[in-house]
Each structure stands twice: as structure tokens, then as C-alpha cells.
A = this chain, B = another copy of it.
Amino acid sequence: MNIKEASEKTGVSSAAIRYYEKESLIPPIDRTAVGNRDIDDRIIRRITFVTQMRAAGMSIENLRRYIELFDAQEDNTKEQKSLLQEQLSVMEEKRDDLQAAIDHLNYKLNHFYDHMETTEEELRELERQHADKVAQKTTEDSDESNNAY
């Protein structure tokens, strides 16, 4: 598959794919006889992984370091696991922050005033609701949002 097809398949621009290869976010790509990139499914999966991590807010630099460790020949399973664990924590915190922002907007939508400033009382109620939510994790699917999770 040439770079254009790979671009269409992944939604990542050709230039970005070249850039990712140069930055070692994906492995060196095989070339055809005339020097064109010949992209296989392994590369496609790596591009998809990079896209996912980028969307999760990981910088190119961190992602490069990250991948470097995983691609190394040495068996550094321990470090790899703790690195994964670390990244997972970051992403979970990010997800929770995002959820808090979603709750905030949902609150605004449900208690709609004529301006968007959140008052002290509203903030206190939000905090209360948040505490409730964390406390009684049993009572899921309360009423407000169409949560997918």
C-alpha cells in the first residue's frame, strides 16, 4: 500500500506519516524498488496507536521515548509495565477532568440561566453532586446524560 492509501485508511496525512517515521513514532518503513514507501498492516496499526495516544494528549516527544523503550531489544518488562501504569494514570486523570467539565456543562444546560457564569452556590451544588456520585457508585444511570460508560 502506498502512502496515499495509508493516509486514507488512517485519516493521517501523508506528510504526518512521513513525519512520524522521521521522529521514530513508527518503525522504519520498507521501500519499493524505486524507493517509495510500502506500508503494511503492522505500520497501519502503529499509526493508529500513535493517533490514539496523540488524541489522549501525549506529546510527540513523550510518545517517542515511550515507544523507544518498548521497541528496545532488552527485556525491560518491569519498566515497561510501570511506564504503562504511569501513562494510564495520566489518561484516567484526564478522563476524569473531562468528565468534570461535562458535568459542569450538563449542570448549566439543566439549570439554564441567562448567562453562563457559575455562581458560588452552583459550584457548591456541583461539588455536592460530585461527592454523591463518587459515594454511591451503585446508583448508576441517574437521569441527566446519555453516558456511554
Chain-B contact segment, one of A11-19, A28-36, A67-75? A67-75
Which residues of the other chain, B, contact A134 by a CB distance below 8 angstroms? 148
Give the size range of A's interface with the partner: 35 or more
Copies in the complex: 2
Is A85 close to B, CB under 8 A? yes
Instruction: Summarize A's interface: helix, strand, loop or mixed.
Output: helix
- A81 x B109 contact (CB < 8 A): yes
Instruction: Kindly list chain B residues whose C-beta atoms are within 8 Å of the C-beta of A148.
Output: 92, 96, 99, 134
Name 18 interchain pairs, CB-CB below 8 A, sorted by A. Answer: A41-B120, A42-B117, A45-B118, A49-B104, A49-B116, A53-B101, A55-B97, A67-B116, A77-B114, A80-B112, A88-B102, A88-B105, A95-B98, A95-B102, A96-B148, A99-B148, A134-B148, A137-B141
